[in-house]
Structure formats: C-alpha cells, structure tokens
Amino acid sequence: KAGVTQTPRYLIKTRGQQVTLSCSPISGHRSVSWYQQTPGQGLQFLFEYFSETQRNKGNFPGRFSGRQFSNSRSEMNVSTLELGDSALYLCASSLSAYEQYFGPGTRLTVT
Amino acid sequence: GDSVTQMEGPVTLSEEAFLTINCTYTATGYPSLFWYVQYPGEGLQLLLKATKADDKGSNKGFEATYRKETTSFHLEKGSVQVSDSAVYFCALEIQGAQKLVFGQGTRLTINP
C-alpha cells in the first residue's frame, strides 16, 4: 500500500509570494492533518480535514489555509510568505483515531 | 493547555547501552500517548502507542508504559544499535481530537 505522498519535496519562494503544497493520503484514509516543523517552535498542528470539512485548527494566522477534495487529497496554502514560514511542512493521514501516518514533508525556504 | 515535555538532548550512547528518554505530559482530558521517530530527511514514523493508563506500547525493542499517576510515558530500550540514531518525539492526542501535541524532540546518537 502506498504511503502518504507530498509534493513538491522542496520549494524556494520569495517573501510576499504565496505557495500551495499538496498531500495525497493513504488510500481509504479520510482524515488529513498538517503540521509545521521548525527548529525553534518544533512540531505544531496547523489543521485537520475530514470528508472535505475542516474539523480542527491550530493557532496560525489566516495566511495559512487548507482544503480537502472529494478524493481526500489535501492542499495547504500560505499567502504573503514571511521569512519565518520557512519550515518542513508535514502531512499525516489516518483511518481512525490513534494512528496517524506521516508523509516525508515539503521543505519550504522563504528568501 | 495540553503539553508534552521531553528530556533535553542531545543524547549520545555507545552501542548496546540502555536507553531511557523521559517524557511527561499535561492534559485536561484522557489522552492517548505516542512515540514517533524521525530519521534524517524523512517524515515521522509511529514507533509505539498507548491509549489508556497502564498500557504498555512496544515495537522494535522499544517500550513505554502509560503512567497516569506520574503523567509520564518514558521510552526505554535495553540495548541500542547504531541504526537507532534519530530524533524521537513524544506526543499526545486528546480522544477524538485528531490533533497531536508534540514534545520538542530528543536527538539520539549511537556510537559503534
């Protein structure tokens, strides 16, 4: 069974630009969560989607948004990029509670 | 709010040494507890879990017991290998929330 895939794996953007990251969950998984990982703040929860509905949201500004499609694939968008948005963005999918499977992440660098 | 505290790293051990990485938590509800491992350049892999008090999670020689009285979930392994070198994260999830709260991570290096 294929794991969680994330595209692209690496991305370089300039301050003020916007970016869209994509996540394809494990087949059959309907819940997709996003996390930001930085050396300073560690791993922080961004949001979680289930059946195209956002069920949970972390403490991030409105520049961070996401959506989920009917096939459970998810995208997250960051607008007006800041230097501090440089991070590894991880996506996780789950079939049920207690089991989240993570993708390899997208490394975003903002210059 | 809910939080997880891990022992400060980095931790460096020799091969075949005994490993303990401490983890304590604060939670308002009844959390499930997890250990995840991250190898260089990769995402997180679930190492083990425990969903209720006194449960013991185990995998690949690693063990952790959910201690409600001490709000702890310490990771142990009797004999570490070089291949265990990675960053280890303790995490909790409040039942039904589908949201993981992570500790700051502990970098483990095993020398041959």
Average pLDDT over residues A73-102: 93
pLDDT of residue A90 exceeding 80, the answer is yes
Query: Is the CB of residue B104 less than 8 Å away from at least one CB of chain A?
Result: yes
Q: Which residues pair with A31 in a beta bridge?
A: A50, A94
Looking up tokens 């507890």 gives B33
Residues of A in Cβ contact (< 8 Å) with B92: none
Give the model's confidence band at A9: pLDDT under 50 very low, under 70 low, under 90 confident, else very high: very high
- Cβ contact (<8 Å) for A42 and B101? no
Reported as a pLDDT band with limits 50, 70 and 90, residue A92 is very high
Two tokens at B90? 């303790």
Task: pLDDT band for B90, please (50, 70, 90 cuts).
Answer: very high
Strands A101-102 and A5-7: unpaired
* Interface contact flag, A102 B44, Cβ < 8 Å: yes
Q: What is the pLDDT of residues B61-82, one digit of tens each?
A: 999 999 999 999 999 999 999 9
Beta pairing, strands A87-94 & A106-110: antiparallel
Query: A56 to each of A47, A66, A107, B44, how far by Cα in Å?
Result: 5, 11, 23, 20
Local structure of B110: helix, strand or coil: strand
pLDDT > 90? residue B29: no
pLDDT at B42: 87
Which two structure tokens, joined as six digits, stand for A78?
């960051």
* C-beta atoms of A100 and B103 within 8 A: no
Q: Does residue A1 surpass a pLDDT of 70?
A: no
Average pLDDT over residues A76-99: 92
Q: Which two tokens stand for residue B78?
A: 């009797």
| Closest chain A residue to B40, measured at CA | A104
Measuring CA to CA, how many Å separate A48 from each of A60, A63, A64, A76, B6?
13, 16, 12, 11, 25
pLDDT above 80 (res A96): no
Tokens standing for residue B27: 């939670």
Q: Do B43 and A45 touch (CB under 8 A)?
A: no
CA gap B31, B68 in Å, rounded:
10
Instruction: Report, as an integer, the average pLDDT of A16-21.
Output: 98
pLDDT at B11 over 90: yes
Verify whether the Cβ–Cβ distance B97 to A105 is below 8 Å. Answer: no
- Looking at residue A72, its pLDDT comes to 95
Q: Is residue A65 pLDDT above 80, yes or no?
A: yes
* CB < 8 Å to A90, chain B: 43-44
